[in-house]
Amino acid sequence: MALRLPPYQPLPPPAKGHALIELPILSLQPTQLCVGLAEVSSRISDFKGDSPSQQRAYLGSKPVPLVRSRSGAVWMVDRHHRLRALAELQPQAKAFGYVALDVASDERSVVLEELHRRGWLYLYDGRGLGPLNPAVLPATLLGLHDDPYRSLVWKLKKEKVVEAAPLIPFHEFRWGAWLRSRTLPPFSSARLEPALPAARALARSRAASHLAGWKGGGEA
């Protein structure tokens, strides 16, 4: 299974010397339809162990690339898992971000078209169906659905079975789409264990060698 994604324009980094913007997390509109709730749960546990000052320092070190409309509406183009976790813990929490793109329109459809043209939208749902119309994107992070295959790939990355590839758009979702095309035992984001042995073997196999982050070490 291949994701039919448009060509991707790299996100610009924060401009040197420019102060970051601090915004309520729930004012940021997502640019994808789903997350892996296993990763969200793990990040919730991490945030619970941090003091407010530690949280702010961490968020400041991971600023969110933002797209802003002429009227000031804002979309986030990354960091969906960590900010969904913090929003569940603290609905009034704020995050730090920087403007990667200003769109000279007040129309939501125009902004979404600009995002889509740059490859900054992920329009597949938690069952792998899509691409869907950008209009179905939820208004806040709390509206994102669970994709258990995204959770499975997060676990494989934690185990170092799959390497990170931060420059590849929707890297983990690409792996998830490929695993979805294979046969795995029934599993869920809350119970990944039944699928992990087969997923590890598949991820290490040569059949996965076309995917960014492949490390090998398995059978051909």
SS (H, E, C) the chain: CCCCCCCCCCCCCCCCCCCCEEEEHHHEECCECEECHHHHHHHHHHHHCCCHHHHHHHHHHCCEEEEECCCCCEEECCCHHHHHHHHHHCCCCEEEEEEEEECCCCCHHHHHHHHHHCCCCECCCCCCCCCCCHHHCCCCHHHCEECHHHHHHHHHHHCCCECCCCCCCCHHHHHHHHHHCCCCCCCECCECHHHHHHHHHHHHCHHHCCCCCECCCCCC
Find the mean pLDDT for residues 15-44: 95
Domains assigned to the chain: 21-146 (3.90.1530.10), 148-208 (1.10.8)
Per-residue pLDDT reduced to its tens digit, 106-122: 999 999 999 999 999 99
Flag whether pLDDT at 5 surpasses 80: no
Find the mean pLDDT for residues 178-205: 97
Per-residue pLDDT reduced to its tens digit, 65-109: 999 999 999 999 999 999 999 999 999 999 999 999 999 999 999
Find the mean pLDDT for residues 197-206: 97
In which band, very low, low, confident or very high, does the pLDDT at 2 lie, cut at 50, 70 and 90? Answer: low
